Structure 1
Amino acid sequence: MRGTHESTASTEGADPDWRPLPPRARGLMALNGALQLAIPGAVLGFVLGNVLASGLDLPMAWSGRVTGVVLPLLAAAGLGAWLGLRRHRHTHWRHDAQGLALRRGRLWWRETRVPATRVQHLDVTRGPLQRSRDLATLVVHTAGTQHSTLKLANLDAGDAERLRDALGRQIDHDDDA
């Protein structure tokens, strides 16, 4: 059964126009997911440990408090890493004559399209971990006030620069028309 699920999921973005994130982005996506859930997991563990200890009228030694924080922290970080890997697997992008499209998720599937005519300006950012893996984030600023920025993180650095240049040429072409 798992083999069927794996092959179905890997062909989800198999449309040749839709491109996945590069495999070397997997580690950063897992790290990001782990960090997003680790701190809330530790806080939740601390609070629940103290509530249970006081509710059951148990003396809670420091080792119990540490265990009450560390175990939920590790569990939440593991869950976050797994979710980050799933996020990597189910993120695809496409650039065509109409503009840029981003497809994310599986259970909560979302497709965002940015028409080239709505693009105001473009940024490429690269943090230290992204630079070490030759990755970048393309930031597309659009006309409008609500949801006016699209961030496509952990793209191949060359793809991010090519997308920036191509969308920039489309902006210049639209301005000349």
Structure 2
Amino acid sequence: MADTTFQNGALEGRDLPEAGEIKFRPIDPNHTNILMIGFGLSWLALTTAWITLNLIGTIESSLFTGYSYLILPIIPVPFIVVLCHIYTNGCGYALREHDVHYKHGIIWRNEASLPFNRIQHVEVERGPLERLFGLSTLKFFAAGGGSADLRIPSLPEAEAAKLRAFVLEKAGADHDDA
């Protein structure tokens, strides 16, 4: 008969796994396009307001004479494009035996883990831009939360459906084992 006594022994620092051991899979490169379209639409709104205010004379500046104010909104565009690429390249997800991980960020790098035994619900979301590129966002909900505890954006539709089924199966198995 197996000993079922609860044990919670201390771990030595050398016994802990290295964080770098997790093999992250990249998200779809079209995430860059989705980000650039989103930023582009926001930037277009700001640029339209900037040009309109300059044309009607609300903004007066000795720095911008004639039509030189039209150049100012163009300056950040290359930086936005490069940052969108860097951000997408830094995103990744990993499924392990007992949990799912997601990493993202440029300056503030974030890495989140969610154990399968905490997952109550998994949802596939497809906004208009994601549908345009054939992508989906996988949203994981844990017990006691009203919003998604973990989101993995820009997964191909078939892969998102497959991951959802796998995670729900693992989450159900983990709940049955508890």
Work out whether the TM-score is over 0.5.
yes
Q: Are 1:153 and 2:153 an aligned pair?
A: yes
| Cα separation, partners in 2 of 1:17 and 1:158, compared to 1, 3 Å | farther
The residue that corresponds to 1:129 in the other structure is 129
Tell whether the 8 Å contact from 2:139 to 2:148 is kept in structure 1 after alignment. Answer: no
Q: Are 1:88 and 2:127 an aligned pair?
A: no
* CA RMSD between the two structures: 3.3
What is the identity, as a one-letter code, of the residue corresponding to 2:92?
H
- Which segments of 5 or more consecutive residues in structure 2 lack a partner in the other structure? 1-19
The residue that corresponds to 1:34 in the other structure is 40
Tell whether the 8 Å contact from 1:123 to 1:140 is kept in structure 2 after alignment. Answer: yes
Instruction: Choose 1 or 2 for highest CA Rg.
Output: 2
Q: Are 1:23 and 2:2 an aligned pair?
A: no
Tell whether the 8 Å contact from 2:23 to 2:94 is kept in structure 1 after alignment. Answer: yes
The residue that corresponds to 1:105 in the other structure is 105
| CA positional deviation for 1:161 | 1.2
Which whole-Å CA distance do the structure 2 matches of 1:113 and 1:151 have between them? Answer: 11
What is the identity, as a one-letter code, of the residue corresponding to 1:96?
R
| CA positional deviation for 1:71 | 3.7
The residue that corresponds to 2:120 in the other structure is 120
Q: How many residues align?
A: 156
* Deviates further, 136-145 or 27-36: 27-36
Q: Please, what TM-score do these two structures have when normalized by structure 2?
A: 0.68
Higher helix proportion (structure 1 or 2): 1
| CA positional deviation for 1:87 | 1.1
Which whole-Å CA distance do the structure 1 matches of 2:93 and 2:121 have between them? Answer: 19
The Cα offsets for residues 70-107 of structure 1, whole Å up to 9 and x where unpaired, read as 54443344433332222111101101112211111243
The Cα offsets for residues 93-143 of structure 1, whole Å up to 9 and x where unpaired, read as 101112211111243211011111221211112234323322111111122
Identical columns (%): 19
Q: Are 1:174 and 2:174 an aligned pair?
A: yes
- Which segments of 5 or more consecutive residues in structure 1 lack a partner in the other structure? 1-13
Tell whether the 8 Å contact from 1:102 to 1:113 is kept in structure 2 after alignment. Answer: yes
| Cα separation, partners in 2 of 1:108 and 1:41, compared to 1, 3 Å | farther
* Deviates further, 23-32 or 158-167: 23-32
